[in-house]
Amino acid sequence: MAQPLPRGPSWNELSNQEKQVLAPISPDWENLDLMRRNKWRAIARRYPELSPPEQERIRDRMQGWSRLSSQERQAARERFKGINQLPPDQRRELTNKWMEYQSLPQEKRQELRQAPSISRRPQPGGGPGNRPGPGPGGR
């Protein structure tokens, strides 16, 4: 009979400091596997040593993550996996594009987020989305 995988500490077993830092993801804690719980606990341990802007960035990301549905989270994990499998030069280009985006004023970033996106990936069965052009991060 297969043993259940270790899940790590329950929410109630976390320190007060960990609970305070990880509060945005508390509703999901019991669904996290051991690896993810350990990752979040490591972030919580480092959190007091971070600068205020870094702390704010962590809080914003946790809050954003907690608002995603399980399907959206899975899609984000798959995108991350896909990016990590890109050749190093394409990853660098993608990183540079992301840094350019991050350096834009908040208003411009909001404008870009609200603009209709154009998929650069070919659509199944052909059609207007299948124009030849640059891949991810290309021009």
CB of 11 closer than 8 Å to CB of 29: yes
pLDDT for position 4:
58
- Pull the structure tokens for residue 17: 């400091």
Instruction: Report the pLDDT value the prediction gives residue 12, as an integer from 0 to 100.
Output: 93
Alpha-carbon span 119 to 95, nearest angstrom: 18
**pLDDT recorded at residue 136:** 42
The pTM for the full model equals: 0.57
CB 34 within 8 A of CB 10: no
- Residue 113: pLDDT band (50, 70, 90) is confident
Return the SS3 of 9: coil
**Where in the chain are the domains?**
8-67, 77-111
Residues 68 and 74: their CA atoms lie apart, in Å, by 10
Q: How confident is the model at residue 118 (pLDDT cuts 50, 70, 90)?
A: low
Is residue 41 over pLDDT 70?
yes
- Who has greater pLDDT, 7 or 2? 7
Write out pLDDT tens, residues 65-92.
Answer: 888 888 998 898 898 888 889 899 998 9
For residue 134, pLDDT over 80 is answered with: no
